[in-house]
Structure 1
Amino acid sequence: MITKTRPNFRGQTEFKLDGIVPWGRRLDEYSAFFALKDILPRARILDIGGGPSSFACEAAQLGFDVHAVDPIYACEGRVIRERFDATAPAMRTGLWSAAYRFKWKYYGSEEQIYRRRLEALNLFLGDFEGAGRERYLSGALPDLPFGDRAFDLALISHLLFLYGDELDGDFHILALREAMRVADEVRVFPLVNLDGRPSSHLPDVMRALADDGFEVGTELVDFEFQLGATRMLRVRRV
């Protein structure tokens, strides 16, 4: 257990992170915050910025056609594990010190979150270094290595909006246009930043995508960890 003095004031940035961290999630989490019950196994799915998530591995085991893209996939598995190990302490400290900004029903504790992230990493690396290696391509928004409409659904988990202080509004618009180039539908979660504030980029992003002719809206999901993070962005071709 991390033992640090818990701050007794609000409004500070508890997460002291160096860029976007390799912090992966599991299939049940994706299913909850992306509301995936309506997705059929024949759907072609892309996990954008998947990092060391085990979603692609676990979904493929259920018969789904899933690929994942992330610049970290250019690295060897041992390097990905080293990056996870290097950033985990800062993430754990941030979760512990900012505990008042989360609902803990789904996970229970910071310790259990870490264990789930480690489970995701181990499942991912087993697939990435084994039979599932072809599922993972190195690439990054806003320039994905896929043809037009190669996928039915693209998922962007804990990347856009969450890191809105580092990725500006123009990047968000370019990134989502690119995601819609390669997929018929895009779902993004969450729509708040690391400090739990609603993203200031969201209104302009939604307006730009609507002007492009896409159907754009936010939808309530049956998941809440960051307080108030209960909606996903859904963009579809009309």
Structure 2
Amino acid sequence: MLKEFNLDGVVPWGRRFDEYEAFFALGDVATGTAILDAGGGPASFAVEAAARGFDVTAADPIYGFDGGKIRRRFEETARAMREGMRLAAYRFKWNFYGSEEAVHRRRREALDLFVADFERRRGSRYVAAALPDLPFADDVYDLALSSHFLFLYGDELDCDFHVAAVRELARVAREVRIFPLINLDGRPSSHLPAVMTELEASGFFPELVTVPFEFQIGATQMLRVRRG
């Protein structure tokens, strides 16, 4: 199989608020909700959501670097990501974005908004931390989100990592939402059935929820995890 995306591990490629709103179906989430964005990288969700009245903390290991280093890593990533999208164009639906160029423009917009806010809020809104070990107390958040990290990088992160990571998110938040549930190569994640089985055995209530967003063809559901 042709590998269209030749990436150096997990890469910084952040999204904007309206994208999160669509692929996490956030229409039912009230302002004032305490939200954790786990592993979102240089996303502008935290700053844009805060401006809309949400209480957001973002956690990612790249927040241990300064804004300049994160921007340079983005530039190193952008060429490979753009080439991958061009090669794999047949695996995407373009109605939301329109084109590969528009996706890249949005990523740059997110990066610029993120870096400006990160320089002011580093250490408070932005916490350097990595799954599956987060430095937060139990139940400190109402909702934890994981965007384009878990399951997407299923070839990099094994099933045990996914189980531990989702359990950790469910420890610090009353509800967890994860999107997408397919790999970078467009296949449904092989880890998902085992993760759901392990969560159910541990007393959680995982469910697949259809969302109003589809970019990777077939990626139309998020995983929602709640406790009894």
Give the TM-score band, short-chain normalised. Answer: over 0.9
Structure 1 position 130, deviation (Å)? 2.1
Q: Partner letter of residue 189 of structure 2?
A: S
- For the structure 1 residues 156 and 131, does the alpha-carbon distance in structure 2 shift closer, same or farther, using more than 3 Å as the test? closer
Assess if the C-alpha contact under 8 Å between 2:37 and 2:56 holds in 1.
yes
Which of structures 1 and 2 has the bigger CA Rg?
Answer: 1
> Could you tell me which residue of structure 1 aligns to residue 171 of structure 2?
181
Pick from 167, 171, 174 the counterpart of residue 161 of structure 2.
171
> Could you tell me which residue of structure 2 aligns to residue 82 of structure 1?
72
> Could you tell me which residue of structure 2 aligns to residue 222 of structure 1?
212
Q: Partner letter of residue 168 of structure 2?
A: E
Q: Note the residue ranges of structure 1 that are not aligned, 5 or more in a row.
A: 1-10
Pick from 193, 199, 203 the counterpart of residue 189 of structure 2.
199
> Could you tell me which residue of structure 1 aligns to residue 51 of structure 2?
61
**TM (normalized to structure 1)?**
0.94
Q: SS at the partner of 1:188?
A: strand
Distance 2:164 2:170 in 1: 10
> Could you tell me which residue of structure 2 aligns to residue 4 of structure 1?
none
Assess if the C-alpha contact under 8 Å between 2:40 and 2:149 holds in 1.
no
Pair 1:45 & 2:26 matched:
no
Pick from 96, 100, 108 the counterpart of residue 90 of structure 2.
100
Distance 1:63 1:129 in 2: 21
Identity of aligned residues (%): 64
Distance 2:133 2:123 in 1: 21
Pair 1:158 & 2:166 matched:
no
Structure 1 position 131, deviation (Å)? 5.0
Q: SS at the partner of 2:225?
A: strand
**TM (normalized to structure 2)?**
0.98
Assess if the C-alpha contact under 8 Å between 1:157 and 1:190 holds in 2.
yes
- Over the residues paired in the alignment, what is the CA RMSD in angstroms? 0.9
Assess if the C-alpha contact under 8 Å between 2:60 and 2:128 holds in 1.
yes
> Could you tell me which residue of structure 1 aligns to residue 114 of structure 2?
124
Count of matched residue positions in the alignment of Structure 1 and Structure 2: 228
Runs of 4+ aligned residues of structure 1 deviating over 6 Å after TM superposition are none
Query: Map of 1:20-35 to 2, 5 A cutoff?
Result: 20-35=10-25
Pair 1:14 & 2:1 matched:
no
Q: SS at the partner of 2:14?
A: coil
Assess if the C-alpha contact under 8 Å between 1:219 and 1:231 holds in 2.
yes
Assess if the C-alpha contact under 8 Å between 1:44 and 1:152 holds in 2.
yes
Assess if the C-alpha contact under 8 Å between 2:63 and 2:122 holds in 1.
no
Distance 2:73 2:122 in 1: 21
Q: Partner letter of residue 236 of structure 1?
A: R
- For the structure 1 residues 110 and 216, does the alpha-carbon distance in structure 2 shift closer, same or farther, using more than 3 Å as the test? same
